[in-house]
Amino acid sequence: MNILDIHTHSQPEVKYNYEVIENCYPEDFNPRVGKHYSLGVHPWYIEVNGFHWDAMYAKANHPQVLAIGEAGLDKFSEVSMGTQEVFFKKQIELSEELQKPLIIHGVKTEQQLFRIRKEMKPSQPWILHGFRGGKQQAERFIKQDFYVSIGLRYNEECFDAIPLDHLFLETDTEKIDINELYKDVAFYYSLTQSELKDRIKNNISFVFI
């Protein structure tokens, strides 16, 4: 298994020759042979009426689904924070029941995430995707035992606070070769691109497989 990208919304071009965890919504889940997925309800796209958790469970339990999410909280979503929390907590419960890690979308909701983590005491890994904060915010998330996933846009100061054993890389919605991101991030850790890949692959094997 050659997964390098833990969160993307599309498959990479064949020429890139690496595997990804493709995020999709329950209604769009149609797994292709040999591909890997995360499955969840984004806080922007919550539809309370007509949502069926039993169907979500059945799809999330598919062996090609390696993670739940992206799920979480977003201050700028038009969905009320109360409803967002309900859906987020249901997906935490799903993550725990299926023993699959949780990929989290969190925007301006740091303290809410910490509160819910303290309330629910999850045993499965939580991965904050698309992290763009600085060193101090990264320190707070690491202290709460979050994994942190970095995409194309990041604050280089964060690398001073993110240990390699809690780091992932992703492309999210960007149409880029993730090898370029590995090359850039390796510089901040004083590693070669190959060395960083080996470290991240170890994390992926530990958390997702």
Q: Give pLDDT tens digits for 3-39.
A: 999 999 999 998 999 999 999 999 999 999 999 999 9
72-88, pLDDT tens digit by residue?
999 999 999 999 999 99
CATH of the domain at 119: 3.20.20.140
Residue that the structure tokens 């809690």 belong to: 166
The structure's pTM equals: 0.96
**CA–CA gap between residue 21 and residue 170 (Å, rounded):** 9
How large is the average pLDDT for residues 181-197? 98
Task: Using a pLDDT cut of 70, give the percent of the chain over it.
Answer: 100
- Total domain count for the chain? 1
pLDDT at 206: 97
How large is the average pLDDT for residues 185-201? 98
Query: Do 59 and 39 contact (CB within 8 A), yes or no?
Result: yes
Strand, helix or coil for residue 30:
coil
**CA–CA gap between residue 192 and residue 96 (Å, rounded):** 36
Residue 104 parent element (H or E) = strand 102-107
36-50, pLDDT tens digit by residue?
999 999 999 998 877
98-115, pLDDT tens digit by residue?
999 999 999 999 999 999
Query: Do 128 and 135 contact (CB within 8 A), yes or no?
Result: no
For residue 32, what are the domain limits? 3-207
